[in-house]
Structure 1
Amino acid sequence: MKSPNKLLFVFLLASSTCLVASSSNWLTSWMGLEINMLGYIPLIFMKENSSESEAAVKYLIPQSLGSTIFISSAIISSHFNNLQILMIIAMCLKLGAAPFHFWFPPVMASLQLTPAFILLTWQKIAPILAINSFNPLLMKMTMPIAAISALWGGIGGINQTDIRSLLTYSSIAHTGWMLASITSNYSILITYLFTYILINISIYLILSKEDMKYYKQLFSSKEPTKIFILSITILSLGGLPPLVGFVMKLLVLMFTETKMIVIFGLIVGALMSLFYYLSLTFSTLLSFSKMSFSKSRMIQKQVMMFFLSQILPLSMTLFFF
C-alpha cells in the first residue's frame, strides 16, 4: 500500500461503514454496502499478481449477488412481507456466515496478509450493523444461521495446518456469535465486534513481522516473548477462560434472547474451536517454560502487562455481576 491512492480507498471503507451505521432506510444502507465493496477491492492488489485478480473476482461476484438480493427484497417486501427473509440471506452472504460461506475460504487463501485481515475484521462491521437495523422478528430468523456458523467454524478448522485457514474458520465461528449477540443489548454487540477486531490486530502485528504460514513455524521463532504473546492471543480468540475472548462469549450467553438449541450450538462450536487452538499452542506453551528470560527484565514486564490485559476484563465482569 505504497501508492497514495490507497488512502482514498481506506477513506471509502471508513465512510461507507459510517453511512451504513447512520442510515435510516434500506436505500442508504445499500449504497453504503456498495461503496464498502468498491472501496475494498482495490486494496486487494498488493503485489498485482494473478492470485489477487482471482481473489478480487471471487469476492466481487458473491458481494454483488448479495447486494442485488438485498435491494430487490427491500423493494418487493413493501408488497410481500414474507420475502424479507431474503434480506437476511443477502447480509449473511456478505458476511461469509455458514452455510453461505462458500466464497470466504478461497478468497482468504489468495490474499496477502493485510487485505486478508481487513476482510476478517473491518468488512464485517457494515453487514452486522445492517442486520442489527432489522425488526426484531427478522433478527430472530438469523439465530439458526448463528448456530450453523459456530458449528461449521469449529468443524472446519480442526484439520487445518495453515494459520490463515485457521483464522478463516475462526472468523466464521465468531460470525455466529456476532449474529447471536444481535438479539442482546446493542452495547454487547459493539463490545464483541471491536474486541474481536483488536484481538485480530494483535495477531496481525506479530504475523506481519514473522512471515509465518504454517503453525509449526511458531516454534521456529527465536523471540520467546513473541511466541508467548501470540499463543495467549490465539487462546483468547478461541475463548479460553479467563481470557478476554471468554468474557465476550460469556456476555453474549448471558444477555442473548434466543432458544436453548441455538445456545447449545454456539457452545459446541466454541468447544471445537478451542480444541484446535489448544492443540495449536499446547506445545508452544510447554516449551515456553524452558526458555530463558534473564537477558531482559523489560521483556518480563511486557509479557506480564499483556497477560494482565487479557485477564482484567474477567475480573471487572465478576465485580459488576
Structure 2
Amino acid sequence: MFFNINSNKMFFFFMLTFSTFISISSNSWMGCWIGLEINLLSFIPLISSPNNLFSSEASLKYFLTQSIASINFLFSILLKMIFMKTFEINNLISIMINSSLMMKMGSAPFHFWFPNIIEGMSWLNCFILMTWQKITPMILLSYYLNTNFLIIIMIINTSIGAIGGLNQTSLRKLMSFSSINNLGWLMFAIMISESLWLLYFFMYTFLTSIMCFLFYIMNIYFINQLFMFNMNFLFKFFLLMNFLSLGGLPPLLGFFPKWMVINFMISNKFLITSFIFIMMSLITLFFYIRIIYSCLMFNYLKLKWLKIYFKNNYLFFILFNSLISILGMILSTLYFT
C-alpha cells in the first residue's frame, strides 16, 4: 500500500472526508462550523500515537490552535447574524471570518503553529495537513472574500513561505514553508475562479504526494540524509526534478497553474503583486537548487553509508508519476497554443 494504515484509523479517515463534504455543501454558516469541528476531532486521532512523544505534542498543539480558530469563527458568524445590515461592521466581520479560516489552514501571518506541528508528524499526516485540510477553509473563504485584505495576506504568504525555507534543514519544515508559499497562489486562484483553483490544487496535491511518498519509502526527514544515501542516479534525478516542479520552474508541470495565475494578474493590472509573487518563487527555487547542487556534488563514496533498494512496484510508481511531472511542458504548450 501507499502508506501503512491501521484498520482502526480507517473510520477517522472516513470522518475526515465526510466532514469536508458537510462543510462545503452546507447552506448555513453554522453547518460549516459543525463540519469544521468534526474535521478537527477526526484528524487528532490520526496524528496522535502513544509510542511517539512528538506526535502527541503535535496533536495537542493542533487541537489548541484549531480550537482558537473555531471559537473566532463561531464568534464572527454570530456577529454577522446580529449586525447583518450594518455595512461598517460587516467589513470588520468579513476580516474576522477570513482570519479565522486562514488560521485553520495555516496561512501567514497565522502560520506560527504550522511548521512546528508538521515536524512531529509522519509523512502521511504531513500530506493530509498540507492538502486535504486546506480544502474546507479555502472553499469557505471563497464565500466571503475581503479582496483588499486578502491581497495583503497573499503577499505575506508568498514572502514568508519563500524566506522561511531558506535556513531549514528539516524536509518536513521545508515542505511546510513550500505549502505556505503555494497557499498565496491558491488564494489568488480562488479569487479568479473555482475551476482554476481546482486545477492548481490538483497539481499541487499531485506534486506534494510524489515528494511525501518518496521521503516515506526512503525514510528521509532531513536534507543531510540525501547526501549520505547511495541511490540510483536515475532515481535521484527524478527526485530532484520533482523539487523543481514543485517550485514552479518552467517548463515543468508545476509551472502550468502558476502561468495561468500570472496571466490573469498581468491582464488585470496586478503588476506589483505579480512581480512579488514571481520573485518569491525564485527564492523558493533557489533553496531547491541549493539542495540539488549539494546532492549531485557530494559524491565522495565514504559518505555513502547506506545503499537504498526499492521494490519494483514502488520504483515503477515513482518513475511514472515523476515522468508526468517532468513532461508537463507538453500540457502547457498545448493549452496556450
TM-score, length of structure 1 as denominator length: 0.88
**Against the structure 1 CA distance between its residues 2 and 182, is the aligned structure 2 distance closer, same or farther, given a 3 Å change threshold?**
closer
Question: In the alignment, is residue 125 of structure 1 matched against residue 140 of structure 2?
Answer: no
**8 Å Cα contact 2:154/2:184 also seen in 1:** yes
Which string of whole-angstrom CA distances, capped at 9 and with x for unpartnered residues, describes residues 76-102 of structure 1? 123031322100000111111111101
Gaps spanning 5+ residues in structure 2: where? 84-88, 300-312
**Cα deviation code 1:77-128 (max 9, x no counterpart):** 2303132210000011111111110111111112222212211121111111
Q: Which range moves more in the overlay, 190-199 or 262-271?
A: 262-271
2:281 maps to 1:270: yes
Q: Counterparts of 1:133-152 in structure 2 under 5 Å?
A: 133-135=143-145, 138-152=146-160
- Write the letter of the residue equivalent to 2:254: G
Q: 1:129 & 1:261 partners in 2: Cα distance?
A: 26
The gaps in structure 1 that reach 5 residues or longer are 289-297
Amino acid in structure 1 at the alignment position of 2:243 = I
Distance (whole Å) between structure 2 residues aligned to residue 303 and residue 6 of structure 1:
26
**Equivalence for 1:178:** 186
- Alignment-mate amino acid for residue 43 of structure 1: L
Matches within 5 A, 1:228-267: 228-256=237-265, 259-267=270-278
Other-structure match for 1:318: 333
From 9, 12, 23, the equivalent of 1:6 is 9
Give percent identity, aligned residues only: 35
Does residue 1:188 correspond to 2:201, yes or no? no
Q: Find out whether 1:162 has 2:170 as its counterpart.
A: yes
SS in 2 for 1:241: coil
Judged with a 3 Å threshold, the aligned counterparts in structure 2 of structure 1 residues 283 and 51 are, in CA distance, closer, same or farther, namely: closer
* Residues 204-256 of structure 1 deviation map (CA, whole Å, 9 limit, x = unaligned): 11111111122232231322333222111111111111111111211122235
Root-mean-square deviation (Å): 2.5
Counterparts of 2:231 and 2:315, CA distance in 1: 16
Q: Give 2:78's aligned residue.
A: 75
Amino acid at match of 2:183: T
Local SS of the residue matching 2:169: coil
The 3 A distance-change label for structure 1 pair 47 and 278 is farther
From the superposition, tell whether residues 309 and 194 of structure 1 become closer, same or farther in structure 2 (CA, over 3 Å).
Answer: same
Question: What amino acid sits opposite 2:153 in the alignment?
Answer: I
Asked whether the 8 Å contact 1:152–1:173 carries over to 2, the reply is: yes
Name the aligned partner's letter for residue 115 of structure 2.
P
Provide the secondary structure at the position in 2 that maps to 1:243.
coil
Residue 279 of structure 1 deviates from its aligned partner by 0.7
8 Å CA contact retained: 1:154, 1:170? yes
2:50 and 2:293 mapped to 1: Cα distance?
35
Of 270, 277, 280, the residue aligned with 2:291 is 280
Partner of 1:40: 43
* Match of residue 204 from structure 1: 212
- Alignment-mate amino acid for residue 330 of structure 2: S
In 1, distance between residues paired with 2:237 and 2:134?
28
Matches within 5 A, 1:49-128: 49-78=52-81, 79=83, 80-82=89-91, 83-128=93-138
SS of residue in 1 equivalent to 2:220: coil
Equivalent AA in structure 2 for residue 52 of structure 1:
S
Q: For 2:134, give the aligned amino acid.
A: K
SS of the equivalent of 1:77 reads: helix
Kindly state the Cα deviation for residue 306 of structure 1 after the two structures are TM-superposed.
Answer: 5.0
For 1:102, the aligned partner's letter is F
SS at match of 2:254: helix
Q: For 2:239 and 2:193, how far apart are their aligned partners in 1? A: 31
User: Which whole-Å CA distance do the structure 2 matches of 1:42 and 1:303 have between them?
Assistant: 29
